[in-house]
Amino acid sequence: MTQSQQPIADQTVSQQQPARSRVAGKLLVAVPVYGQVAYTHALVADLSAQGRDADFVIIDNKGDYVRIADERVVTPGRNLGWAEGSNLGFRLAFSEGYEYAMTLNNDTRLSPQFFDGLLDSRLPEDAGVIVPAYDDVNPHQKSAYTGPAASYEPIDIYRKAPFVDGTALVITRDAWVRAGGLDARTFGKFAWGADMDLCFRVGRAGFGVYVTERSYINHLGQKTARANRSRLSYEGQSWLAWARGIRRTYGQREWSTLAKVPVTKHSLVDHSAVE
């Protein structure tokens, strides 16, 4: 059992239970937050508009979150950061019987039928990590569409990728059991590279990493991290920690080999290759 799979009892948390009773579904979405409550409230509205397709929980690292409806809130009592906050969400999900767990940044907006796309039964059976297309920088996930998520039209295409980023990342129970969660120690305070490392371990465990164009997010970009420091300081520290973590974990040659596996595009209808 890895550190990221330790039992829930190892964490000191307090929970504000929602007014309605929760019915365990397929997916639990964890939203790790530290302040920036207005962004979280906007996301909660998006999540609530999705209906009962997924349950969600706010991981309130700062302890200042104010509920606007009946959302579930877990307060760890200290700042776990993004990676360990996400791991707490994964452990909650799988200890409560969910088949999938998701970590979702609070500075995102969701397309309609967002979770239907992520859990589309037409995705390959070996899926271990699934993410939506988005308007951010990773070319593996970047969409030609850059408009508002609310107006996004789903496309029956998925991409197989060597790695994705953790802005909106779904992991299956089986992949988590085999590969573990995010490495919250090796990649520094902001954990740049922890998502890449998770994808590499998921791939080594025999699962696929996929981007679906059935779902899409707008990512407003690093609002929490930049709220308390300059962009130069934040990105400089993060890149340095990423480089050290990757070098320590894989070495330059192995990392280069893993990262350069080509991305392929396929039809969700018949899995044929798409140019």
73 within 8 A of 6, measured Cβ to Cβ: no
- Please indicate whether residue 197 or residue 259 has the higher confidence score (pLDDT): 197
CA 125 distance to own-chain centroid = 20
Q: Average of pLDDT values for 65-69?
A: 94
Tokens (6 digits) for 207: 């699962």
For 86, 111, 170, 211, the CA distances from 179, given in Å and listed in that order, are 15, 29, 14, 19
The two beta strands, 27-33 and 100-104, are parallel
Tokens (6 digits) for 33: 């937050």
3-class DSSP state of 216: strand
Task: Please spell the DSSP secondary structure of 250-274, one letter per residue.
Answer: THHHHHHHHHTSPPEEEETTT--B-
Among 212, 209, 28, smallest CA distance to 128 is for 209
* 187-216 per-position pLDDT tens digit: 767 767 899 999 999 999 999 999 999 999
Indicate if the pLDDT at residue 119 is higher than 70. yes
The predicted pLDDT at position 3 comes to 45
User: In whole angstroms, what is the distance from residue 227 CA to residue 36 CA?
Assistant: 8
Residues 44-53: contacts with CB within 8 Å, 24+ apart?
A: 44/68, 44/69, 44/71, 46/109, 46/110, 46/114, 46/149, 47/71, 47/110, 50/110, 50/113, 50/114, 50/115, 52/23, 52/25, 53/25, 53/27, 53/113, 53/114, 53/115, 53/116
User: In whole angstroms, what is the distance from residue 132 CA to residue 176 CA?
Assistant: 19
The predicted pLDDT at position 8 comes to 44
Domains and CATH numbers, the chain: 3-267 (3.90.550.10)
Contacts of 254 (CB under 8 A, 6+ apart): none
- The pTM for the full model equals 0.86
